[in-house]
A and B are shown apart, each in its own frame.
Chain A
Amino acid sequence: MSLMKIPYYPGCSQTGSAREYDMCTRECMAGLGIELLEIDDWSCCGSTPAHTVDHSLAAALSARNLERVEAMGHKRVTTPCPSCLTNLKTAEHRLSRKDFREKTNQLLDRPYEGGVTTKSVLQIIFEDYGVEALKARAVKKLKGLSLAPYYGCIMNRPPEIMRFDHHENPVAMDKIVEALGAEAAPFPLKVECCGAAYGVPRSDVTARLTARLLDAVEDCGADAVVTACPLCHMNLDLRQSQVNRKQRRGFNIPILYITQVIGLALDIAPEKLGMDLHAVDPRPLLKKLEGGE
């Protein structure tokens, strides 16, 4: 297939706490023959704080990056992070209103008039690359592995803006996981909140919500969770021991990124995918996979 080139917006999390998500995204996309063109001099999308203070400011932070994409001569951009995705897409949506666009452009050196489409890495793989092509490309089938696809609350919401998959029962990762030879566990809390940024001010809330998710993962008999969100990953993986402590539980469930799972099926070495950077050790899972072949 022809080489697909697409501008890439990594997002700040992917340079810090979730740098393995960036690693595996780059590896996975390269493995699929999709060339990621990192946006030159990209900046933070404003994340949650910006839009809670000022919509124009938040839109300006995103618009700056979208303008960079246009300057590259492209009309599309992809990002692995659902939070960045929401900000970029919401900005594009709000900027379609003339008065808002004028107000926002006053904050920018180079005005942005709209016209760049943002898609998540997951959406690019699911819609543009396609499940069938993925199936053909997957040299190492993930037989015997049962994965709980966890989408989180903002990947598909609000549906009017995100326009991807179903907002109550998304299936993109389910279909991908099945195409790679693994089983998609019937995980019912696909779009439940993990507690998100509450992990900092109210870790008890996050612990309670995360425990409920992990309970449901155990209930449906999955070996691991697969997610596409760095914040979900942080709460489920990094804080899993915190959950165990606060809720007096003994969870030991590996949390993987969808691009890691695809990477494994492309037979990319686990270290290259950043598998050694997780808090919950995925090695028993990898052994099971090796043994299952």
Chain B
Amino acid sequence: MRIGVFVCHCGSNIAGTVDVVSVAEAARLFPDVVFSTDEVYTCSEPGQKAIRDAIREHRLDGVVVASCSPRMHENTFRRAIEKAGLNRYMLEMANIREHVSWIGKDKEKNTFKSTELVLMAVEKLRKNRPLVAKSFDINKTVMVLGGGVAGIQAALDCADGGLDVILVERESTIGGTMAKLDKTFPTVDCSTCILGPKMVDVSQHPNITLMTSSEIEAVSGYVGNFDVTVRKRATYVNNELCTGCGLCSEKCPSKKAPDRFNEAVGNTTAINIPFPQAIPKKASIDPEHCIKFTKGKCGVCAKVCPTGAVNYEQQDELTEVKVGAVITATGFSLFDHTRLEQYGGGRYPDVITSLQYERMLSASGPTGGHIKRPSDGREPKNVVFIQCVGSRDKSVDRPYCSGFCCMYTAKQAILTKDHLPDSQSYVFYMDIRAPGKQYDEFTRRAMEEYGARYVRGRVSMIYPRDGSLVVRGADTLAGTQMEVDADLVVLAVGAESGKGAPQLAEKLRISYDRYGFFLEGHPKLRPVETNTAGIFLAGACQGPKDIPSSVGQGSAAAAKVLTMFSKDKLESDPAVAQVNQRRCVGCLKCVRTCPFGAIKEIEARDGSTKAEVIDTVCQGCGICSVTCPHGAIQLSHFTDNQILAEVDALCLSWMDENFA
């Protein structure tokens, strides 16, 4: 074998703390190495050209690149050697940046470790064999999880691009958080008026199948061929018969059900349609508050329904669907302000959340667009907004900035003045974070044109006095304490990951951070991909996001899916497990340990039981190969012999020195 070694400087990233020239020199003495050099930027075009030229000139049949993590550039270099006629699996990388230069300062030790890593890579490469990818058919249907604005955008873009789309929504209507907003910043245009038409487009698009009141039960399969089980919760109303006339809700005698759409500002009926623009506009029953379910008798809705759509016997339904890609757009939830006892912990009715205030401002909301104190229905005069409630607060384990609260608070201060010209708004803030287009100008308008008084400081406590609330805080610019007599306090609650987000991530086999937000493939370069092929992200499920960013990501995720589906077949990674049928005794331990269901039981020609790997499903994790008691399973590209060659390279010389 003829091996070439390329040691990268990575500018000063590696060369700063590793003597790359002597690493390259040392590599020349390693077995089968016929060429070795160092390059300033191996990943650059001149660097890649040097590899291609060396392959031709020195008739190399394997290449070792000592540079960064393979997660960064393995594909780059695989393509480079492929261009020069080598099989892409005849490449090995030694990670001397993340594993050496970035973590150690001692140049001598770093150089020694780098040399050892290069030797390991050379020894592994000597055992490498060319591998060829197989191609497989794909199902060009995409599933979008979540019907908020990000999911709606992704679904519409995919559908317009000619794909079949299944949009799965947990609630009985699509619209998400945006449907609950009154106005949007910084344009102060009506949220429903810009979202509503898109919701209608979803319902009318011939390529989109909408599944509401539905959640993912299980996911199996792999990119291009996922099998998804969807559970549709019983709503006790037949959507095909329901016309959305609303008669059932009008006549329902149970009027004390908490109004979830209106953030529990006011109550609703046990059977209801969440809001007039709901898509689909279908009624559903809340069984916890329905008299028929709690007491066993009533049935008014069934009697009045003109189409006989109400069915108390309805059960959850499980549906199996096959899709080729999944876009996760499950959104976020809000910080629970009752955790903060200093703000009353939910004990004071006139301390409300920003989203409750939003419903109060909305003309179609529970108060008909009038701002009223929940305690006595009076119009407030002094309205205090407190920002960063559950954001940038380590004491409640929410150290991150939610990003949009500064903006919606400015919007709410402006709307307050519009609704109540005699009112005075106070905003307690930590910093104003308004980096979007027209955003900072907007917050200045709230202060300068609408007279909102911005106080820089935190609020230490809220307590009731004489029918109003005393808000006590610091004015850190004036260096004083400050007390405001408030009639209404609005808490700018921060964003948290969606309810059940980690559980969904486990089903989809994607990563999530410690706060439950889904992890993108790369924080800068792969913002809507995940590390699981075929699963994409859009919107606030990846991290707090405002509407423009969510829409942007919805379109971006759709573009990624359309790109992937522009091919008719996908290539599978050949680095998968293989069963040596002659050594397999059919114990099937591997079948039980495989987390992907990629190993099946087969009957051999002599009638004995054997295991067989399904190439396209196998993710190459290697669990089966260490489980197999007979060593009958080998993971291609990571065989026992290849791994042992690396271990020997590292340990044998050390053993010789110490025990010889």
Which residues of A line the B interface, CB within 8 A? 166-169, 188-189, 192, 216, 219
Question: Which of B345, B464, B465, B466 meets A169, CB within 8 Å?
Answer: B345
10 pairs of residues in contact across A and B, judged by CB atoms under 8 Å? A166-B341, A168-B341, A168-B342, A169-B341, A188-B463, A188-B464, A192-B461, A216-B465, A219-B465, A219-B466
Helix, strand, loop or mixed for chain B's interface? mixed
A168:B340 contact, CB within 8 angstroms? yes
Contacts of B465 in A (CB 8 A): 188, 216, 219
Contacts of A166 in B (CB 8 A): 341
Minimum Cβ distance to chain A for residue B469 (Å): 10
> Other CB < 8 Å A-B pairs besides A169-B341, A188-B464, A188-B465, 11 of them?
A166-B341, A168-B340, A168-B341, A169-B342, A169-B345, A188-B463, A189-B463, A192-B461, A216-B463, A216-B465, A219-B465
Closest residue on chain B to residue A215 by CB atoms = B465
Contacts of B461 in A (CB 8 A): 168, 192
We find that the number of chain B residues with CB closer than 8 angstroms to chain A is 9
Minimum Cβ distance to chain B for residue A120 (Å): 20
| Alpha-carbon gap, A216 to B465, bound state (A) | 8
| Alpha-carbon gap, A238 to B342, bound state (A) | 29
Closest residue on chain A to residue B472 by CB atoms = A192
Contacts of A167 in B (CB 8 A): 341
| Alpha-carbon gap, A167 to B463, bound state (A) | 15
The 3 closest A-B pairs by CB, nearest first: A168-B341, A169-B341, A188-B463
| Alpha-carbon gap, A169 to B462, bound state (A) | 12
**Which of A166, A169, A188, A219: most chain B Cβ within 10 A?**
A188
Q: Mark B440-465, 1 if CB is under 8 A from A, else 0.
A: 00000000000000000000010111
Contacts of A189 in B (CB 8 A): 463
| Alpha-carbon gap, A190 to B345, bound state (A) | 14
Contacts of A188 in B (CB 8 A): 463-465
Q: Mark B464-482, 1 if CB is under 8 A from A, else 0.
A: 1110000000000000000
Minimum Cβ distance to chain A for residue B322 (Å): 51
**Which of A166, A169, A189: most chain B Cβ within 10 A?**
A169
Contacts of A216 in B (CB 8 A): 463, 465
Contacts of A219 in B (CB 8 A): 465-466
Minimum Cβ distance to chain A for residue B521 (Å): 37
Contacts of B466 in A (CB 8 A): 219
| Alpha-carbon gap, A168 to B466, bound state (A) | 21
| Alpha-carbon gap, A168 to B341, bound state (A) | 5
Q: Mark B332-350, 1 if CB is under 8 A from A, else 0.
A: 0000000011100100000
Minimum Cβ distance to chain B for residue A161 (Å): 14
**Which of B340, B464, B466: most chain A Cβ within 10 A?**
B464
Contacts of B342 in A (CB 8 A): 168-169
| Alpha-carbon gap, A181 to B328, bound state (A) | 55
| Alpha-carbon gap, A216 to B466, bound state (A) | 10
Closest residue on chain A to residue B469 by CB atoms = A188
Contacts of B464 in A (CB 8 A): 188
Which B205-255 residues sit within 8 Å CB-CB of chain A? none
| Alpha-carbon gap, A52 to B85, bound state (A) | 75
